[in-house]
Chain A
Amino acid sequence: QSALTQPPSASGSPGQPVTISCTGTSSDVGGYNYVSWYQHHPGKVPKLMIYEVSKRPSGVPDRFSGSKSGNTASLTVSGLQAEDEADYYCSSYAGNNNLVFGGGTKLTVL
């Protein structure tokens, strides 16, 4: 199973919105509503930001939102803040009890 495709990098200015895409196939992203997004600051533990495409765990700021259209899921950060600078990974259920991750996107706050 191939990894999900994410852009290697994304950037935005403080206060601006930025969207990170996660492209898969009809066998994973497009076929199930089990897409998650993680924030990973280097040297720290990954943090769950979004699950089941658009649900936010308790404690995650509401400027983080998730959506899906066809085989592509998206994470949007509205109102970028300096502390949002991190690596972001998507994951998706891929059927047959299999889970796949994206390659990761490095988000830079300009």
Chain B
Amino acid sequence: QVQLQESGPGLVKPSETLSLTCTVSDYSISSGYYWGWIRQPPGKGLEWIGSIYRSGTTFYKPSLKSRVTISVDTSKNHFSLTLSSVTAADTAVYYCARDQDSGTSYRPKGFDYWGQGTLVTVSS
């Protein structure tokens, strides 16, 4: 059973950078699949932030692209999210998840394993 666990600060100041890590257990990231970050602001719906392949190839939501970086460390079997210049609008529960797509061309086939989610609040 693949397990994912998000970690990182729960409080970030406005204009600073949000950083989260997703540690994967019982599956090697280097074996394949795409790995993604999704968030849910309080009282709102799910929003895809971006995804990364084992090779390090990344795909980002266009409106967030200028502020987002997703990276992977296969030696530690984790992938990370950084979001710069945060505002209160970035307050959300952040989830990491595995996409069933295992091909070399990104064709999302659904996130089948999810982390528990971590609440990140942007506030001074």
Contacts and interface: CB of A to CB of B under 8 A. Distances in A.
B108 A36 contact: yes
A89 B46 CA distance: 8
Given A89-B45, A103-B45, A98 B59 contact: yes
Given A46-B114, A51-B100, A98-B61, A34 B48 contact: no
Interface size class, chain A: 20 to 34
Contact of B45 (A32, A36, A57, A102): A102
Interface residues of B, number: 25
Interface string B70-98: 00000000000000000000000001010
Interface of A: 1, 3, 32, 34, 36, 38, 40, 45-46, 48, 50-52, 57, 89, 91, 93, 97-104
Given A38-B111, A52-B110, A101-B47, 12 more contacts: A1-B62, A32-B107, A34-B107, A46-B38, A46-B46, A46-B95, A46-B114, A48-B110, A48-B111, A50-B110, A98-B62, A99-B108
